[in-house]
Every structure is written in C-alpha cells, then in structure tokens.
Amino acid sequence: MTSAERVKTLLNKDIPDQMGLYEHWWGETLRDHWPDQGYPKDEKPDVYFDYDIVGCGGWINSTPFMDVEDVVEETDRWKVTKNGRGATLKHWKGRSGTPEHIGFEVTSPEVWKKYREPLLELSTDRIGNVDDARKALADARDRGKFAVMGNLFVWELMRCTIGEENFLPALLTDPDWIHDFCQVHLDFYIKHYELLFREAGLPDGFFIYEDFGFSNGLYCSPKTLGELVMPYEKAFVSFLKDYGLPVLMHSCGDIRKAVPLMIDAGFDCLQPMEAKAGNDVLEFARIYGNQISYMGNINIVPLSTNDPAAVRAEIEPKVKELNRLRIPYFFHSDHSIPPNVSFETYKLALQIFQENSRYE
C-alpha cells in the first residue's frame, strides 16, 4: 500500500495496513538546532522521515490590500508592522510563535466595508505561483505521497482581521456583521480555489486551519459557534468534497465541546488534539469511534524532557490502544516540534510509533 492509498483509507475512516505519519515544525528547529545534531541541513523533513502527507501550497492570499506591510517599530529582536488587513502585529525575529496583537483598524461594520471591497472580485494575483503548485503536486504523486493544500478560514481570519477583543463581543452584539464577514470570505475562497484547481490541478486533500480553543475551553459557546460559524465551515467543506477532497481540521486549544460540530460539518480528520489543553485522543476515540479520523495528541511536554522513558510512556500506550480499538490514526505531535526536542528524541519517538503502528 502506498502512502497516498494509506492516507485515503484513513481519511475514509477505514483501517489500512498501518497508521499514518505526518508532522509540523517550528522553523528554528530544523534551521538552527538540528543540523548541529546530525540532521542533514536543508533536507526536507517529509523526504527525510518519509511522511505519508506532503504539503503542496495552495495558500490563497485573502489579505484585502495585498503587499502592504508598513513598519511601525523595529529592534534587533522584533518588528511591529501594520498589514493589509489593518492589523498591527509584533513578530519575533528568528523565532516562531503567534504575533502579539497590538491593534486593529477593522473595529466596526462601517470600517469593514472598506476592507471587504477588494475581496469581492476574482484576482489571479491572489493564487500565487501556479507552476510551483503544479510541480509540487506532480512531485508528491511521483513519490506516491498524499498531496494536501490548505488555508486559514473564517474564524482565523476574524482573529487576524478584527481581533479577539472586537470580534468575540460582536458574536453576540452584531451577528449580522459576523455573517457578512463569513459569507464574503466563503464566496472569495470558492471562486479563487475554483481558479487554482483549474489552473494547477487538484490536491488529494485539504487542511483548514481554525484555532477554536483557548487552553481551557472554546472561545465561545458551542451554540454560538454552531449558529454563526459552522454553517460556513460546512459550506466550504461541501465545496471541497464536490471535488472529491477529504478535509482535515486543524484546531488548537481545548476543542472538546466542538468535536460534534466538526463531525456534523463533514470534516474527515481532527488535528492536532492539543494534549496540553486537555484533549485526549483515547477519549475521543471511545466517544466518536470511526466517525472521524485522528491526527496528533502526542504531548510535546514529555518529548521536550528528552528522557527516553518519558517519551515511550507518552507514545506507546496511546498507539497500542488506538491499534487495539482499530481507530484511523496519524502519528503527529500535539502542535509542532519545537527546538528543545532533540533530533535523537524525535527519531526515538518515530521508532516507538513504528514498533506499534501496524494494524493487527
């Protein structure tokens, strides 16, 4: 069974020969730390570790005013910029992480009118380099890998355009604005992905990135999420499935109360099930079974100790029980691999997984 066949089977909520394998990274792990520990510098991790899934771009630019980034302040450690969404953000230099939110211009429906206008028209400039996407898809297929594209969607776009302090109250005080924001972006995505798929070709699947949770719960009630946001998630998933694409949901934080909504919206896989926020893949598996497939939940905290016993204690019981339950599962951290996880530790983690990954 090829990697692509294995992933398709898992995303169809069936059981293939063995569990799947994929990962995400903090950039500095591979760039600044692991080369000194024996990792081949500039080697692609999906090639080196033989992952089943390969990212192939497809990141449509949904910034209303593209190519706008005005520097507000800069030091040798960080930079503050105001971007084409009207958001002022503080980014670390040379370090990964969520930027600090300094301020947002889009604080009302009236201001939003200015920013929604550029999103109403189809623009080939927004789909990136079609030749690169076409080549990435072809390379993945030549290697027998499962090719994915992906993007942020409406919840993340509200966070980076309106900001939590503005859009979270608006969920209750101005739902019409939220509906308009979501509808504009849904329509925008559909027409631009129709263009990209036509010009570059279809991937095998699609990742939607939406962080619905804080560390201790959802940003809003499941009822509010279900009424104001999930109809648009469901509509975009339906659009992608019309092309035959399975859809994976990336959502950090404590998303336990949102899982039924994700299943109802048609998502095929839940990732990364952040263990640090209280998610437990075994709990999900026992509640939801094979209604959805699962990727992740390997707690990065014990891996960061670089203690082989702690690493084995985190991985082995989960993988063995998922195997026993015959749950469609992909090995993945509960977010991304940080630089304090050593190269040797990560190789050990993969070894422990592979010892237990073949379905019985």
Splitting the chain (360 residues) into consecutive groups of 10 residues, what average pLDDT does each group show?
Answer: 97 98 96 96 95 97 96 95 97 88 97 98 96 97 98 98 97 98 98 98 98 96 98 98 98 98 98 98 98 98 98 98 98 97 98 97
Asked if 37 and 347 touch (Cβ cutoff 8 Å), the reply is: no
Residue 306 has φ and ψ, to the nearest 5°, of 60, 30
Amino acid present at 247:
V
Q: Is residue 91 part of a domain?
A: no
User: Which 3 state secondary structure label does DSSP give 310?
Assistant: helix
Per-residue model confidence (pLDDT) at position 145: 98
Q: Is residue 84 part of a domain?
A: no
CA-atom Rg of the chain in angstroms: 20
Residue 20 host element (H or E): strand 20-21
Per-residue model confidence (pLDDT) at position 94: 84
Residue 18, domain CATH: 3.20.20.210
Q: Is residue 86 part of a domain?
A: no
Per-residue model confidence (pLDDT) at position 97: 82
CA atoms within 13 A on the CB side of 198: 7
Nearest to 339 by CA among 34, 22, 23, 24: 34
Cα–Cα distance, 339 to 300 (Å, whole number): 11
What spatial distance separates the first Cα and last Cα of the chain, rounded to whole Å? 15
Q: Are strands 213-214 and 217-218 parallel, antiparallel or unpaired?
A: antiparallel
| Chain centroid to CA 343 | 23
Q: How many domains does the chain have?
A: 1
| Chain centroid to CA 270 | 10
Could you count the other beta carbons within 10 Å of the beta carbon of residue 169?
Answer: 10
Q: Is residue 158 part of a domain?
A: yes
Amino acid present at 167:
F
Per-residue model confidence (pLDDT) at position 96: 86
Q: Is residue 203 part of a domain?
A: yes
Q: Residue 140 belongs to what domain range? A: 3-64+107-356
Q: Is residue 236 part of a domain?
A: yes
Is residue 121 exposed (0-12), middle (13-18) or buried (19+ Cβ within 10 Å)?
A: exposed
Per-residue model confidence (pLDDT) at position 187: 98
Per-residue model confidence (pLDDT) at position 161: 98
- What pTM was estimated for this model as a whole? 0.96
Cα–Cα distance, 207 to 19 (Å, whole number): 19
Q: Is residue 102 part of a domain?
A: no
Per-residue model confidence (pLDDT) at position 169: 97
Q: Is residue 94 part of a domain?
A: no
Nearest to 279 by CA among 212, 232, 230, 233: 212
